[in-house]
Amino acid sequence: MERVYGIGGYFFRARDPEGLSRWYRDNLGVVAEDLDGYWFQQGGPTVFAPFPEHTDYFGSSGQKTMLNFRVVDLDAMLAQLRAGGAEVDHRVETDDNGRFGWAIDPEGNRFELWEPADGVADPVTPA
């Protein structure tokens, strides 16, 4: 059986695609290398998990997916987002997989930040 070997892209609608791309670059460091939107990231685990249809985990019931970003220092990233004016959830949760926080981008998309626990992933501090 053929298998996929990774996530090739994440596509979503935006009222202001260029402005939202700038926001992700300026607040999360998601830097597209060229006009095609390629973002080269570090290797690591990716969770693929369908959720129940009526979950409130994604925030708004109209949001059908939620992007999760791996981070090295969750507290520093949440502080950076707050300083940049982002809406940041006050909760931080911890489980065997690590620590989790959430924020909302300027167009209302809730996303998750994950600081993997030791042994779950081997994050490397970006250069």
Element (H, E) at 79: helix 74-83
**Domain enclosing residue 37, as ranges:** 17-116
Work out the pLDDT band at 124, boundaries 50, 70, 90: low
Residues paired with 114 in a beta bridge = 70, 100
30-44, 91-105, 108-122: which range is least confident on average? 30-44
61: DSSP letter: T
pLDDT at 35: 59
Task: Tell me if 11 is assigned to some domain.
Answer: no
Residues 6+ apart with CB under 8 A from 56: none
Q: Are 60 and 80 in contact (CB under 8 A)?
A: no
Task: Tell me if 84 is assigned to some domain.
Answer: yes
Task: Tell me if 9 is assigned to some domain.
Answer: no
Whole-prediction pTM value? 0.83
CATH at 83: 3.10.180.10
pLDDT at 44: 84
